Each structure stands twice: as C-alpha cells, then as structure tokens.
Chains A and B, each alone.
Chain A
Amino acid sequence: MAHVASRPLTRRAPRRLAAVLLAGLVSVLTLSIAAPAAANEVGLDEYDFKVSGLVELADEPLADVLLVIEGGGFRVEVESGQDGRWAVGVPERGDFTVTLDENTLPAGIAVIDENLEQPNVRTITVGQSGSAVANFFIGQGERNTTSLFDQVIERLLNGLNFGLLLALAAIGLSLVFGTTGLSNFAHAELITFGGLMTLLFGVTFGLPVWLAIPIALILSAALGFFNDAALWKPLRKKGVGLIPMMIVSIGLSLAVRYIFQLFVGGDTQQLPGATDTTLSIGLFGLSWIDVASMGVSVIVLLGVAYFLLRTRIGKATRAVSDNPSLAAASGIDVDRVIRIVWFMAGGLAGLSGILWAYFRPGVSWDMGFQILLLTFAAVTLGGLGTAFGALIGALIVGLFVELSTLIIPSDMKYVGALVILILVLLVRPQGILGRKERIG
C-alpha cells in the first residue's frame, strides 16, 4: 500500500502496530480457507487448445452438470459451474465429442431435439482458431409453470431483498462521498470482506453462524476505519485532489481484489445454510433466509435512520455530508465524524456482503465488485452524498433489476438498472434527492 509520509512515531506507532498485526493475522487466517479444485475448468493451463460451452435450462444457467469430452484418444470430464459454463484444455486440434450426462440433469429433464439421434452428444471440431464451443440449451421440460401474478410477486420480493442489501452498501458509499468527496471504488472489497470473514469463521473455523457473523461485522467495521486511518486521511492531509483519490481507490480495489483471489481462489463457496432447501417457506420461492435477510436489513436501516435523524453525532454527520466546510465552520469536529462514517460504512458494507452471499448464493473473491456498479448507480440515482437518497436509489435499482427479468432475458438484468441510471442523470443530474450546484 502507499507509504505514508513520516510522522512522529511515538503517538502513531502503537496504533500502526495494532493495525499491521490485525492485517497479518487476518491474512494468515484467510490463507487457511481451502480453495477447492475448480471443477468447471480442467486443464486449461496444460493444453493449448480449448473446448468450452454453456449449459442452460429454460434460459437459466444450470450448474453441476457432468460433461465428457473425448477425441483422438483423449478423454476428460468437467462439471458446469454456477454460471452454467465449463471449459477444458485439449492437447490437439481435430474432432471431439461432447457428451452431456443426463443423469446429472434435474429430475424429469432431458435434452430433446427431434433432429438428432443422440441429442445429448455433440460433435465439434477444434480448427484454426484453436477453440470450439458446444452449448446445450435445454427447453422447458417438466418445469412447474408459475402464474404471472406469482412470478411478479416473487420478483418483487426478490427485488426488495436485493434492494435492501444494496442499500446497506450504498449508504456507506454515499456518506463517505458526502463527507470526504471520495468516490471509493474499493468499497466493493469492503463488501466482499464481510462475506469472506463469515466464510472464514463460519465454515473454516466451524463457529456457529450466530457467532461468525458478528465477528465478521466487527472486522469489517475495523477494516473501514483502518482504510481511512492508514490511507485516505494521510492523502487528504497531503492535499491530494479528488480525481487522483478516486484513481487511487481504483488501484486499491484492483490490488485487494486479487489479494482476495490469492487467498480464496477463483471459485464460489457457500455460507452455512445458504443452499439448504429445507428452509424454504414454499411461498413465492422464498426461504427463511430471505425473510431473515430482509428483516435484518430493515432493522439495521431503521437503526441508521435513527442515528442520522435523532442523535447529535448523526445530525452532525448529515451536516458534514451536506456541506463539509460550513459544518466545520460551525464548530463540528469533522475528523471525528469522518472516522465514525468510515466505521459505519465498513460495518454496513460487511453486512451487505453477508446478505449478498446468502442472496446470490455464494462467496467469491469478486462478489463485491459484481455489485459495485449497481451500488454506484443506486447512490448516483438517489443523489450523491445523501443517505436517504442512497436508500431510495438502492430500492429502485433492486426492484428494477429483478422485475425487469419478466421482460428481458435474465442475463441482461443489470442492463435495465444501468439504463435507468443513465436516464435519470439526463433528466435530473443531481439525482432524486441531490442538490443542484451553482456557477459563479
């Protein structure tokens, strides 16, 4: 990380030491999260040529389907990943057969194609380009068709769930922007960190979930605080401009993301109970986890609202977020407010990461980055620097993302939210609750 300008060592040394020890401890612990073998990519590094593909059922990616690729005396097996994709390296060019093992498909589903004798077997050729593709797009099969009304309600609730957890991340981002002017791209990693820590303590160390989550939250809040103390505050004191700081956050985000990948690998792992189907309520495709997630989000958001509206520090936070120089001039301790904001932002982002891990479902090294853009969209939509704007923006984004899947294919669902962002900025550049700026 950036080397901080020299300061009197006596006062800062103990705090620095503690921070470094904490970082070191967490790193060593995280190393012990075993990265499982990547089942959906085999031999890509060993061989020069590639056969890959996608398995989908009714436009949704299908995971854990077994495929066997054979050709020229070579044979390899691979499973489709969470996104339905798979890829294998093959030693030479030529013809290969790709066989989909129908035993690994969901009950009652088969690959049906009137034109082929064996629809679950494809013959492909790896030619000049060095790679070939075999996709299996499986039709409706025996799926239960749900009524349109049910689908709408299901997506509405999903959208609400997603919007609420996005709001947790968005509020922190918005407050950091409001109080310090920083557009923090590394916020994504604060989100991921929450999920990773819960994985570490809940799965690797085997602690019960009700213990792992609070520990993860405390660590996330501490990381947020550490972020500001070690990096952003020194940069502010140095007088670094806002655009350079944004670019620094981009570099930080890149570095930390790949540090995460270094420790936990490229695959997705699950938190305890995430894929437990016994928790299903049977209503609208929801599980108790979804209900708990929404409940937790609402409670925490109410807590944040109370903090901002009723407590003295909360009001001071809103003042600083709205107009830092004016707030400082009226005697508010801006530095203290900023510290608290980062602490909160870290904790909220961590919680958001945990809920996101249950929603996706899955913990991966880049899970925060996947929703970073949506988080920025939510914040911008609602008005940069306002906490309540971030909440409204997040809810709009969440609902839009989920409800739009009724009309557009699900792998384009983020497009809708991003388009909304652009459209709102056209009409009302300051966002829904933001203030307009004056020239002069």
Chain B
Amino acid sequence: MIDWLQIISNAAQEIISPTTAAYALAALGLAIHFGFTGLLNFGQAGFMMLGAYGYAIATLTLGWPVWAAILTGVVASIVFALILGIPTLRLRADYLAIVTIAAAEIVRLLFTTNTWVEVTGSANGLQGYKGGFAALNPIPPGTYGFGPWVYNEYDWWVRIFGWGLVAIAAFITWRLFKSPWGRVIKGIREDEDAVRALGKNVYFYKMQSLILGGVFGALAGMIFILPRAVVPSNYQTSLTFFIYAILLLGGAATVFGPIIGSVIFWVLLSFFSGFIARAVEVGWLPFLTNVQAGQLRFILVGITIMLIVIYRPQGIFGNRKELAFVK
C-alpha cells in the first residue's frame, strides 16, 4: 500500500523548507529583473553561486566571521552585476539572455575547474562552513515542532533566517514598486525610448535593477547552502530555468508570486515525486525504474513552463494588463 501520510507529510515540509525560501528569494530577484524591468537575465544561477561560494570561501579559506562572509557574497554579486551590466544593458533583450547564460556558465566552469581546487574544492565543492552560522543560533539545543514539522535547533534557525530574509526582501520590493522609482522601471520595461525622452537615465535604472535582483540572488544562494554543501553541479542553467518556472507560475511582476510560486512548486514537486516513487515500489508503474521516476520531475517542470507561458502568462497572481513580455 502507498504510504499517503508519508507522501503528504514530506510535501508539507516543503512549505517552510529552506530550499523553498532560497528559491523564493532567487525568484524575487528575478521578478525585479524580468517581471518588473524586462531584463532577460538567464544567469540568476550565477548570482546564487557567487553568494554561496563567497560565503563559503570567506568562512573556510579566509576565516572571516559570518557578517563578513555574507558581505563577501553580496559584494561578489554586485561586481558580477556590474561586469554583466556595463556592456550588455545596451543590447537587445535576447542578446542579454545569451550573454547572461554564458556568464553564469563561465562562473560555474571557473568554480568547477581543478585549477583552484584548494580554494574552491572544484567539482566536489565545499563543506564545513556552517559553524559560524550555527554559533549565532539563539535557540537552545533540542527538538521542536509538531506534526510533520519537527526539527532540531539548527534546522529551525536556518528556516527562521531564510524566511526572514525573504520577508525583508519582499517588503523592500513591495515598497520600491509603489514608488516613483518603480514607476520609471515599469516604463522602461515597456518602452525604453519613451522613458528616455522624458529625461530618465534608463541605463542607470537598469543597472540598479540588475544589482538589486542580483543581491537577492546571492542571498538566496547563501540560504540554499545552509542545510547542505556547496556543490557546483547544483548551479547549472537548469537552476535558472527552475526559478523561471516558479516566477512564471506565481506571477512575474508581483511580490507574492515568486514566494507563493516557490511554495506551490516545491510542495507539488515533492508530492509528485513521492507518489511516483512509491507507485513504482508498489508496482503500479512496472515500466519505470526508480531512477526514471526521478527524471519525471524535470519533464513535468518543462511541460509546466510551456503551458503557463502559452495559456496563462501572468501566472497565478499576475495582472494580464500589466504584462510587458506578452506582445
């Protein structure tokens, strides 16, 4: 018999999982880039990677305290945004897409190569950087929670930190897009020349947007690595595509869209994977092996992206009238 309780319980845990928070924050950053400004940034995985490695390397190789390590990741992402933005923000949208993918891949290759293995750990990545963060934990040791949500003090600390960051980022984003700055950005998304003709320095605004969304991505990368290790193969282009799936699902130009989208995405994915895995075990799907069941997730994500963009591009919370990328 299929253990429905286990499947549902696993899925429910995804609601507050730090991975969900990380993806939500990364998607929020991408919402600023793509949803609000119209920048086709396909390198968000690169920003996450820089945040993750910035934090880990600062902690392990340089021995810096937590706040300095966080700052390192943030500064790295700002530098990356500048390097990306200065040449490309003058280019057309699809050029930006290709350049950002290329840049993110370059970053990944640089971290995977064996040339700097002492610092980067190359393909095996880095571990053992969690000590500083764990030491800041105000929760006394023990196990807390109820129902499916029972964790120890470290796991709770990670969740509080992660979702706290998401809340702050969401508030900042919400404030910004109700302001005149947000108005300029939304104008740029639709027609740069019109906004230029009104005396706004379009290039500068795009750069600010790129940096802000990139910093969110870097912080997301840091949340992402707190419950696991830094492994470069996690930051391939498919990561960016997953974030896009979440963003489009929730609503590209909204604040709640990325967050709720991430929750729904991970809950459904967990439920679906769990169900398929159990079904294979129990023999309901005799033509699939366990490994193949795991691949169904990706197929599902791919098809979901296609369907959303074709039939409901504004996602769950978006407003069709405000969508700039649907012409």
Direct contact of A and B (CB under 8 A): yes
Interface SS of chain A: helix
In the complex the two chains form, what is the Cα distance from A254 to B114 in whole Å?
28
A131 to chain B, nearest CB (A): 7
Asked if B302 and A253 make an inter-chain contact with CB atoms under 8 angstroms apart, the answer reads: yes
Q: In the complex, which of the residues A238, A242, A262 contacts B295, with contact meaning CB atoms closer than 8 Å?
A: A262
Asked if B304 and A251 make an inter-chain contact with CB atoms under 8 angstroms apart, the answer reads: yes
Asked if B302 and A254 make an inter-chain contact with CB atoms under 8 angstroms apart, the answer reads: yes
In the complex the two chains form, what is the Cα distance from A241 to B93 in whole Å?
13
Whether A2 contacts B114 in the complex (CB less than 8 A), given A255-B303, A418-B105, A418-B106, comes out as no
| B248: interface (CB < 8 Å) | yes
Whether A137 contacts B97 in the complex (CB less than 8 A), given A247-B305, A255-B299, A262-B292, comes out as no
Asked if A414 and B123 make an inter-chain contact with CB atoms under 8 angstroms apart, the answer reads: no
Chain B residues within an 8 Å CB radius of A253: 302
Asked if B115 and A412 make an inter-chain contact with CB atoms under 8 angstroms apart, the answer reads: yes
Residues of A near any B CB (own CB < 8 A): 1-2, 45, 52-54, 56, 59, 85, 127-131, 133, 135, 137, 183, 235, 238, 240-244, 246-248, 250-259, 261-262, 265-266, 373, 376-377, 380, 384, 409, 411-412, 414-415, 418-419, 421-422, 425-426, 429, 437, 439
Nearest A residue (CB) for B114: A411
Q: In the complex, which of the residues B98, B127, B238 contacts A254, with contact meaning CB atoms closer than 8 Å?
A: B238
Chain B residues within an 8 Å CB radius of A412: 109-110, 113, 115
| B32: interface (CB < 8 Å) | no
Nearest A residue (CB) for B128: A129
In the complex the two chains form, what is the Cα distance from A252 to B301 in whole Å?
10
In the complex the two chains form, what is the Cα distance from A59 to B122 in whole Å?
13
| B198: interface (CB < 8 Å) | no
A-B contact count (CB 8 A): 165
| B183: interface (CB < 8 Å) | no
In the complex the two chains form, what is the Cα distance from A421 to B100 in whole Å?
11
Asked if A251 and B305 make an inter-chain contact with CB atoms under 8 angstroms apart, the answer reads: yes
A27 to chain B, nearest CB (A): 11
In the complex the two chains form, what is the Cα distance from A396 to B17 in whole Å?
46
Question: Residues 238-262 of chain B: 1 if any A CB is under 8 Å from the residue's CB, otherwise 0?
Answer: 1001001100100000000000000
| B201: interface (CB < 8 Å) | no
The 3 closest A-B pairs by CB, nearest first: A255-B302, A251-B305, A129-B127
Q: Which of A128, A133, A262 has the most CB of B within 10 A?
A: A262
Whether A373 contacts B101 in the complex (CB less than 8 A), given A137-B114, A415-B106, A425-B88, comes out as yes
A426 to chain B, nearest CB (A): 4
Chain A residues within an 8 Å CB radius of B327: 241-243
Chain B residues within an 8 Å CB radius of A128: 127-128
B116 to chain A, nearest CB (A): 10
A37 to chain B, nearest CB (A): 11
Chain A residues within an 8 Å CB radius of B103: 418, 422
Task: Give me 6 other A-B pairs in contact (C-beta within 8 A), A254-B241, A415-B109 excluded.
Answer: A243-B327, A244-B325, A244-B326, A251-B306, A415-B110, A418-B102
